[in-house]
Structure 1
Amino acid sequence: MSSSTATVNSAAKGQESPSSLDGAPDAKLEQLPPPAAPVHTFPDGGGEAWLTVLGAFFALTASFGMLSSFGVFQTYYVFYFNKTPSEVSWIGSLQFFVFFIVGPLVGRVFDAYGPLRLMAGGTLTLTFAMMMTSLCTEYWQAILAQGILVGLGSAMLFFPSLSSIASHFLKRRGLASGLGVTGSSVGGVIFPIALQRLIGEIGFGMSVRVSGFICLALGIAATACVRSRLPRRRPGKWLDVSAFKEPKYAILTIGATIMSFGLFVPYYYIEPFALSQGVSPDLAFYSVAVMNAGSFFGRLLAAPLMDAVGKYNVLIPATGLAGVLCLALWLPTTVATAPHAVLALVMVFAAAFGCLNGAFMACMAPSIAAISPITSIGVRIGMLYAILAFPMLVCNPIAGAFLSDGGSPATYRHLIIWSGVTQIVGAFIVVGTRVLINPKAAAKV
């Protein structure tokens, strides 16, 4: 009796006992290590994984492609609504604000239920928003239809598709995410050119409705393709507050916030700038398409680069160089006098800046995922983008406020300096996250 009790007690304490009811086999069992925590594995390929990448491409073509095409609407609305560039830019800024601010909600729903419901709802919302935008005759109507609904529908397509890619890939996550986000550049090339051509032939309303039907088709295809490997679970917290206690995540958030004050300024103001310098309207509008075409190659090139040298080793130089490019190439354009010289400089700047900006966009989500647990990727990406909503809301109106006299070369210089400096400062801050991950200069981070 005493021997049996001693055996039970020693087993309960996890200590080795010389006696056992069944002898040696139980003694061996007592010495086995505790079961390891479950490890998430990534296929890094396969039919479902690459189909998800294709679906993300379609989703971003419709969502972010439309968002990044606002430069065409900006030029049209200034004359149609008889508003200043700063007033009109509130519509585009509100799109991005709504797009980013709903990030935590979308991320939470994604973590709990997966991408299907979100993307189906996003497809319907974005299509409805485009149809309502086509009917707008007043400034406040465009604020509601395009500023709010387009941003909401785009977010419901964008975040689930990129988060789903992260659940399929680890070693090749950079490549997969980069291929997916090239869709936004394709949309940013197609939509401006299509709208510019169609507005002159069939009018603004019908042109926007055609764009809406394109978004509908792309959204349906994206919803059918995108799948997540994460199992469904009960909704977690709205926010992962513990992330901000991690210096890597906190520093990345601060740097990205400062970057965001200048990141999209060229997309909104490159066409009005070209027009103010005497470039023909038939040629000036191509500056937005060229910038988005450059963004396509930037995202495409960033994908293998991230896997080869590291996500932060691409993110930081790309953003810093984009700021330098504003100061070194766009700023000197303000002193050019011949329209053909302005056009050449604008197109070179648009292509180069778009390439670097595209690399930033390709790197952002994988960089967040790289410092996040797999079960929190969706909510952490959403959290950071929600914070970016606030600089996105005010960045373009702030830039437009520099154009107090309607857009002279002198006031455009202030706008350009603002855009360039904020990107450079933000890039330097993100270096802190990179150093915390690995301080070695040659390390793959």
Structure 2
Amino acid sequence: MKRLITSGLMFGNLIHVDSPALVERYNRALKHLTGKQTGLTDFYIDISGYSPEVGDELDDPLYLNHAGVNRQFILLTTAQKTAPLLDAKFSTSRGILRQFIEENEPALFALTARDAVAGELVNSVFDMSDPKRLFDIRRIVIEADTTNGRIRRAAELDQKVSRFLNEEDAWFDDVLIAEMIGLAGETGDIVRNPVSLKKMEFEQRDFWTAHFGGLYLFQDLELPGVIASAGKEGLGDLPIEYVFGLEERNRIANFLDLNGLVEPIVKARGIDASAVLRQKMDFMMVDALADAGVDLAGRSRTDMRRLARTHASQLPEEFHALAALLNWAESGGKWPTIASDSPAYFYTLRASGHKDADLVNMLLAELAPKDFRQLFICHKELFYRRYAGWSDTKKAYVVEYLLNEYQVDKVGARKALFGRDAPMEEEIKPEPDMDQLIELVGPWGPVRR
């Protein structure tokens, strides 16, 4: 993992906590939330305030996320909004934290100038021993305050000011006036400088969780279902209509198609489908040849074509299936039938335009693991686990590619793969009679049950 860390592809964009004042504030918040403190004077934190160094020191990687639910957070600066979320247990957590920071940025900026803000992503579940408990998670509420309770005291002061202004004879209530003066000394002038955070709630119906080996929950669909990365054995009788193991590729393909969650890359607007297919084929080639002693560093497009010709017999079935699809898209070759039981099937898809597109692209990344770029973008935890088992040749190629091709323009790369804002300059369309066939039988032919 050292190569990933030094290149900034792992633990990148964390916030450095290295001043005595920030460390002291962090410790106040940490003790407020957990009763623990750190003796470190220099460490890094993610968007939630979690620090790998502090977790190692405390021998508790879940010190801000006990049992993997109701994640707590410590905010020292609004700059944390751009940091990653390490060891995420739910796919929605980082987005919730970022939206909370962005919606309250002026107030948080003022509050964190003097103290840390500590809080929690609260739901009604405190124990994950039973998979059924996941279905009790419906709404996430954010609770937050400074370690000295400034927001709570400001609310108390606001109530007392309201009493003072509206209740008869309140002007003569010496106790009320004394309480107001005392609170104002702690909160400042809340009339000119209001101290409050927006009350924010988030619905959580469709999400991925790391619990139980990894589960994708799609509850807010016409045909709801669960997809289990580690298989559905041991999950028990879940309160949802469909449950699939990741190995049930035909059934998953049918589920995604019937719910309108995916579209074929060659029909997607806003991308250069041919370029995407070529890149996926390169990634498959790297996976196949990395252990064959082939030097992959710095290979040009011409070099990659030459390698494909030389080692054609060593390349996997999905490479040749995508080659046939590329030939159809570019040269009008024969339309390839890529059925759902083909290992190439999920490489040919991306999420369609709906609210859970990120979750679907995350699932597709797991179903098409040789596309290391999509795996890195959509499912970093799985990328890191699989990277650890790759050969040194593949690791070197992957790091070089991500640094030189992806990191230099992450926004552009994501838009090129998943975006729908810009129409394609030359939209690729199937032959006239093919559109009707696709509508009838799915993107690449009948989904076999």
Interval of TM-score (by shorter of Structure 1 and Structure 2): under 0.3
What is the TM-score normalised by the length of structure 2? 0.24
Query: Which structure would you say has the larger RCO, counting Cα contacts within 8 Å and 6 or more residues apart?
Result: 1
- More helix, by proportion: 1
What is the TM-score normalised by the length of structure 1? 0.24
- More strand, by proportion: 2
